[in-house]
Amino acid sequence: MEETTFIMIKPDGIQRRLVAPIIARFENRGFTLVAIKLVHASESLIDQHYAELTSKPFYPGLKQYMLSGPVVAMVWKGKSAAALGRAIVGATNPKESAPGTIRGDYCNDVGRNVVHASDSVESAKREIALWFKPEEIAHYAPCDLGWVY
């Protein structure tokens, strides 16, 4: 089913010049970019984004990492975008992130894992509303020649 998901390139992804390769993976998989911006997040935005994790022992380090530089916030649209977005990003634990996934190709530390993907359709809706105003989401039909995706 056609869905949207929230994908974010974390500060280390930008510092490591991985913006274009990460975007390419979503384009290559046939997803359509409908929103994108570079944001240096506020503390409150990160607290809201990771609201479920604020009591975890690793949260202070996670927050410091997420505030250490700008991030690229994006909304991607396509079939099963939330589930496939997670598959493209790969597992949280570096020992389980398979080669071929973004994390499996670029990361070996859970605390420096380059990219975020919404973990469900419901999380995607919440995160998109948190990071984007409705008018920042583009509504357009990708050129469909009948044989591209």
Q: Which of 40, 49, 116, 139 is catalytic?
A: 116
| Closest residue to ligand RTP, based on beta-carbon distance | 92
Nearer to ligand RTP, 67 or 110 (CB): 110
Please report which helix (H) or strand (E) contains residue 30, including its range.
Answer: none
The residue length of the chain stands at 149
Q: How far is CA 100 from CA 5, 81, 83, 90, in A?
A: 20, 18, 16, 8
> Is 49 an annotated catalytic residue?
no
Candidate list 36, 119, 125, 126; residue touching ligand RTP; CB under 6 A: 119
Q: How far is CA 139 from CA 7, 32, 92, 95, in A?
A: 18, 10, 31, 38
CA dihedral 106, 112, 118, 123 (to 10 degrees): 170
Between residue 90 and residue 109, which ones bind ligand RTP under the rule CB under 6 A? 92
Nearer to ligand RTP, 105 or 119 (CB): 119
117 makes contact with ligand RTP (CB under 6 A): yes
What is the binding site for Mg ion (CB under 5 A)? 119
Q: Find which of ligand RTP, Mg ion, none residue 83 binds, CB within 5 to 8 Å per kind.
A: none
